[in-house]
Amino acid sequence: MLAFIIRRLLFTVLIALFAISAVFFIIRMTGDPTYLMVPMDASKTVIENFRHKMGFDKPLFSQYVDYMWNFMHGDLGTSLRYNEPALNLVIEALPATALLTLSAMAMSIVIGVPLGIITGIRSGGLDRVITALVVLAQGVPNFWLGLMMIFVFSVKFHILPTGGMGSIKHLIMPTIVMGFYTSSRITRVTKSSVSEHFQKEYIQTARAKGLRESTVLLKHCLRNALMPVVTLVGLSVGIYMGGVVITETIFSWPGMGRLIVQSIEMRDFPVVIAAVSFIVVMFSFINLMTDIAYAWIDPRIRYD
């Protein structure tokens, strides 16, 4: 197990390094990034000074070496707008995003797992309704859902604030928008896993032993059936990292998603690069932890 963790950790670091390099080359692919970063009407001398200051006049390879060297030392560039280390801005925005992500994750589990179990163990009218809702939910764009909720709950009924961060009330709509899609995915996967396991022979054996149905379900079936759900919850972090961009923009939530969108608008690309790199590194480590959790709950998996 330890050997597996170390191996995966090294691999994760490697992948993260490659991903950071990819960010560097995507930016350079379009040519001189000066034009991406300076205002559109900047004069020639401003542009030349800027290029020199940022090191864009050096050869690409030496720029790359500088970039990676600085990255290793925790220097992800300086915000052009706030004249502050970009990493600081990202870290300041982190708690808001973490709060939103965790509450969306909690919502998806609390809704998705019970619904999945109910529809998984018996089929009938309720099962059909929930299945139809799941299919429908996968087609709903989150930004549209957010706007419609603002229209109904803020504009029409004045129950919830349109945006910002503060009380529990501020958290409700962003959480629903973020957790909507993943709730439906978790419902779906739980359902198919539970219904598959429920037909297996070990369940019949447990019943034949005269165990109560609740024991059969909780102790025998769910322990096995919920394993894929753990992986899915881990994977949904990737969906949330994309979802925050939209959700935070709509609800003016002061997190990393809004920081990224605003920085793109302001052409503050050092911040965009820092935020994207930061998220990629975090995401890789969460994937690693999901794998470890999976090995831990399923004794059959011993990755080495």
Partner 1 sequence: MLKNIIDYTAIFFFICLIAVAVFAPFLTPYTISEGDLSNRLVPPQGLNGPYILGTDYLGRDVLTRLLYGTRISLLVGVASVFGAGLAGTAVGLVAAWRRGAVDSILMRIVDVQLSFPFFLLVLFIAAVLGPSLKNVIITLMIATWAPYARLVRGETLSIRENEFIEASEAVGASAFRIVFRHILPNAAHILIVYSSLEIGRLIISEAAVSFLGYGVQPPTPSWGVMISEGRTYLYTAWWLTFYPGIMIILTTVSVNLIGERLRESSDPRKSLR
Give yes or no for residue 260 binding partner 1 (CB under 8 A): yes
| All residues at 6 or more sequence positions from 118 whose CB lies less than 8 Å from its CB, including other chains | 126, 127, 130
- Provide DSSP, 213-268: HHHIIIIIIIHHHTHHHHHHHHHHHHHHHHHHHHHHHHTT--SHHHHHHHHHHTT-
Q: Which value, to the nearest 10 degrees, does the dihedral of the CA atoms of residues 291, 295, 298, 303 take?
A: 110
Q: Is 106 in the site for partner 1 (CB under 8 A)?
A: no
Would you state the structure tokens that stand for residue 280, as one six-digit string?
Answer: 């990629």
> Distance between CA 98 and CA 178 in Å, rounded?
12
Among 46, 72, 135, 159, binds partner 1 (CB under 8 A): 135
Which residue, 197 or 216, has its beta carbon nearer to partner 1?
A: 197
Backbone angles phi, psi at 78, to 5 degrees: -120, 135
Q: Which listed residue (1, 6, 10, 22) binds partner 1 by CB under 8 A?
A: 22
Q: Identify how many contiguous H helices and E strands the chain contains and give both numbers.
A: 14, 0
Amino acid residing at 279:
I
Instruction: For residues 260 and 166, give the distance between their C-alpha atoms in angstroms, rounded to a whole number.
Output: 21
Residue 68 binds to partner 1 (criterion: CB under 8 A): no
Distance in Å, CB of 269 to partner 1, minimum: 9
* Residue 15 binds partner 1 (CB under 8 A): yes
252 binds partner 1 (CB under 8 A): no
- Per-residue contact flags (x/-) with partner 1 for residues 183 to 222, judged by CB under 8 A: -----xx-xx------------------------------
Q: Which of 49, 138, 204, 215 binds partner 1 (CB under 8 A)?
A: 138
Gyration radius from the chain CA atoms: 24
CB atoms within 10 A of CB 9: 13
In the block, which residue shows the tokens 């920081």? 259
Nearer CB in complex with partner 1: 211/235: 235
Q: Of the candidates 151, 202, 296, 303, which one interacts with partner 1 according to CB under 8 A? A: 151
Least separation in angstroms between residue 167's CB and partner 1 is 22
Rank residues 211 and 262 by Cβ distance to partner 1 and give the closer one. 262
The contact set with partner 1 (CB under 8 A) reads 15-16, 18-19, 22-23, 26-27, 29-30, 36, 128, 131, 135-136, 138-145, 147-148, 150-151, 155, 188-189, 191-192, 237-243, 245-246, 249, 260-261, 264-265, 272, 276, 279-280, 283-284, 287
